[in-house]
Chain A
Amino acid sequence: MIFLTVSNVSKSFGGPPVVNDVSLDVMRGEFFALLGPSGCGKTTLLRMIAGFETPDRGTIAIDGEPMNAVPPHLRPTNMVFQSYAIFPHLNVFDNIAYGLRKLKLSKDQLHARVEAMLATVRLDGLGNRASDQLSGGQRQRVALARALVREPKVLLLDEPLGALDKRLRETMQVELRAIQRKVGITFLLVTHDQEEALSLSDRVAVMHQGRILQVADSRTLYERPNCREVADFIGEMNFFHATVREIAGGSASLNAGLLGLVTMPAANLAPGIKTDDHILLAIRPEHVRFAASGVAGDIAASTFLGERSHFHVRIAGRSEPVFVSGSVAPTGAVHLEFPPEKLIGLPASD
C-alpha cells in the first residue's frame, strides 16, 4: 500500500534545479533509501518531505493527505538530523521528551514512554546524562529515540550513520534494521554509502543530479542497473562499447569490439534497446573469469583482499584495465572469458 507519494517535485535555489521532477512511491512500513553522491539533491528532497523546504513544483502526500501547505511542526514526520541536533541544554531524558509536550501526558505516563524508548535504543539508565557527555553512537541513539517516541508516520534519516566510525556504523546498521522491524514505522533513509543503502533497505532510489535514475530492491540494482551511472555508483563495473546487430528469439547478437562477436540473452538488454543501437556492455569484476583461451591480457596490478583478490588486467587496444575479481591468483599473461549470460546491455550515454 502506497504511503508516501512524491509527485513531480522540483526545487531550485536560484540556480539549476537541485531536485528535478522527482516522483516516488514509498509503501507503509517500508525501509526505503535515497542513495546518491553528495549534491545529488537527496537531502533537499528529504527536507521537503519534512517541511523545511517548499517544492517549487509538484506535490508530497503522506497517507493520502497532501502536505505542501502543512508546516514542519504539524507534519506526521520526524527526522534524525545528520548533525543529530541534540539540544545541548537538555539532558537525554528531556531531549527525548521534548516532542511529547503537546500530548499532555501525566508525569508517570511521560516517564514510562521515555523509559520504554530508552530501552528500545538501548540507552537504559542514561536519562540523566548531560547531552555533552554522550559518545557519537549514543548521540545517534538519542536522536533516533527523540524522533521515534512521537510515533511518526514516516521517519526521515539524513545520513544517520555518517558521523560514526566504521565498526560502530556496522553495529548500528544491524540495530537500525531491527528497530525498524520492531516499530513498523516507514523509514526513509538518505545516504551516500551504497553498502549502507543496499544492506538496510527494502528498496533503494538512486539519485543523480536531481533526478531519480532507478528505484529497485538491492539485488536488482546490483544485477540489473538500468544505466551507466547506477552501474558505476553501485559496486564496480567493466564497460565495453558494442553495437546491436540483431535481436531475435530471445537472444541478441552484438558486435562488441575487443570482445568480438557476442550472443547474449535479449532479456539482459535494458528496455528500449533496438537493432543497430550503439550500447554499453557491462560486466561485474566477479563475473569475468580467467580461462585457457579468450581475450589475451597481462596482469598489471593485483590487490589481495583476503578470500578474494582484485586484479587489473591490461588488454590490447583498451586504455583502462579490465577489473577482475577472483580467488585464483594467476601471474603474467592471462586469458579472460566474459560469460554472455552475465553481460548487461545499457544505453550508451552518448
Chain B
Amino acid sequence: MKNKSLLLYAFAYLAFLYVPVLVLPVFSFNDSQFIAFPLSGFTTRWYGALAGDSAMQHALGNSLKVGIVTALLSTMLGLAAARAVTRYRLRGAGAALGFISLPLFIPDIVLGLSLLMLLGAMGLPLSLAAVMLGHLLVCVPFALTVLIARFEGFDRNLEEASADLGEDGWMTFWRITAPLMLPGIIASLLLTFITSFDEFLVAFFLSGTEATLPIYIWGQLRFPERLPMVLALGAVILAVSVVLVICAEHVRNLGVKNRVVGA
C-alpha cells in the first residue's frame, strides 16, 4: 500500500524533473521557429545551423579550455588539501577547511564581482584566465569534499604497509595511494569540469570579450529566431554528459576486471 503510493510519487517526481528538460530535444527537432504546440514536423536543420555557427564553436572551445584547466587545478589543490587534513594532525585544520569551503556559503554573484573589482584595482584585463580563477574558487570546495570522503575510507595502514615493504614515499604514492584514489580523482575531475563548464554568473562578469558557452547561450536567448538552435545545443550537451558518465563507469569496471584477471 504505502510502497505503491511512494512508487507513484517517485514517478510523478521523475516526470516533474524530466518534462522541462525534454522540452529541449523535443523542440530542437521541431520544424518551426516558434516554441509552441502543436509540433509542426521533424527536422534536423537546427543541428545543422548549430554545427555551422562559428561563435558557438569558439565559445565551446573556450569553455573546454576553462573547464579542463579548472578541473585539473582544483582537483590537484583538493587532493593536497584533503590529504593534509586527513593524514596529518594539524593545528587549525578545521579553520583552514572552513576557509576553503567558504565559497559554498557565498552567492556566486559576490564571488564574481569581488574578483572583477580585484582585477580592476590591479589593472588586469578581463580574460579566460580570470574566469578560471573564479571557477577555481567555486570548484575547489567540491573537489575537497569528494576527495576527503575518499581519503577517509582509506586505511592508512596500507601506506604504512608499503613503507614497511621497502617503498619510499614517492613509490608508495604511485603504487598504492594513486591507484586507490583514482575513482575519487575521476569523480572530482568530472564534477569540477561539469561545474565549470556550466557556470554562468562568474564568467558573466569576468570573461570580457571571450565568451564561454553559457555566456554564448545567454546572448542567444534574446533572439527568438535562434531559440530552436539553442535548444539543440542543450540537447547535445545533455547527450554528451550522459554518454560521458556511462563511459566513465564502464572504464572503471574494465579496470577492476583487468586487475582481477591479470597477475
Contact = CB atoms under 8 A, between A and B. Distances in A.
Direct contact, A vs B (beta carbon within 8 Å): yes
Interface of A: 50-52, 71-74, 77-79, 81-83, 85, 87-91, 93-94, 98-99, 101-102, 127-128, 130, 146-147, 150
B92 interface: no
A87 to B, nearest CB: 6
Contacts of A90: 259
Contacts of B260: 91, 128, 130
26 contacts: A50-B160, A52-B160, A71-B163, A71-B168, A72-B163, A73-B164, A73-B165, A73-B168, A74-B166, A79-B164, A85-B155, A85-B157, A85-B158, A85-B161, A87-B176, A88-B180, A91-B263, A98-B165, A99-B164, A99-B166, A99-B167, A101-B167, A130-B260, A146-B165, A147-B164, A147-B165
Given A98-B167, A150-B166, 20 more contacts: A52-B160, A73-B163, A73-B165, A73-B167, A73-B168, A74-B166, A79-B164, A81-B161, A83-B157, A85-B158, A88-B180, A90-B259, A93-B263, A94-B263, A99-B166, A101-B166, A102-B166, A130-B259, A147-B164, A147-B165
A146 B165 CA distance: 8
Contact of A98 (B155, B168, B175, B261): B175
Contact of B259 (A74, A79, A89): A89
Instruction: Report whether over half of chain A's contact residues are helix, strand or loop; otherwise say mixed.
Output: mixed
A338 to B, nearest CB: 49
Contacts of A127: 263
B179 interface: yes
Interface in B146-177: 155, 157-158, 160-168, 172, 175-176
Contacts, number: 74
A149 B180 CA distance: 24
Nearest to B179: A89
B249 to A, nearest CB: 17
A104 to B, nearest CB: 12
Nearest to A129: B260
A98 B162 contact: yes
B217 to A, nearest CB: 41
A80 to B, nearest CB: 9
B164 A77 contact: yes
Given A77-B164, A83-B155, A99-B166, A128 B179 contact: no
Given A85-B155, A93-B263, A127-B263, A79 B166 contact: no
A212 B162 CA distance: 30
A85 to B, nearest CB: 4
Given A85-B155, A85-B160, A89-B179, A150 B165 contact: yes
Interface string B35-62: 0000000000000000000000000000
Interface string B230-263: 0000000000000000000000000000011101
Nearest to A75: B164
Nearest to A90: B259
Contacts of B168: 71, 73
A22 to B, nearest CB: 21
Contact of A128 (B155, B166, B180, B263): B263
Nearest to B164: A79
Nearest to B167: A73
A72 B259 contact: no
Contacts of B261: 128
A349 B92 CA distance: 44
Contacts of A77: 164
A43 B167 CA distance: 22
A127 B263 CA distance: 7
A83 B160 CA distance: 12
B44 to A, nearest CB: 45
B55 to A, nearest CB: 46
A303 B250 CA distance: 61
A74 B155 CA distance: 22
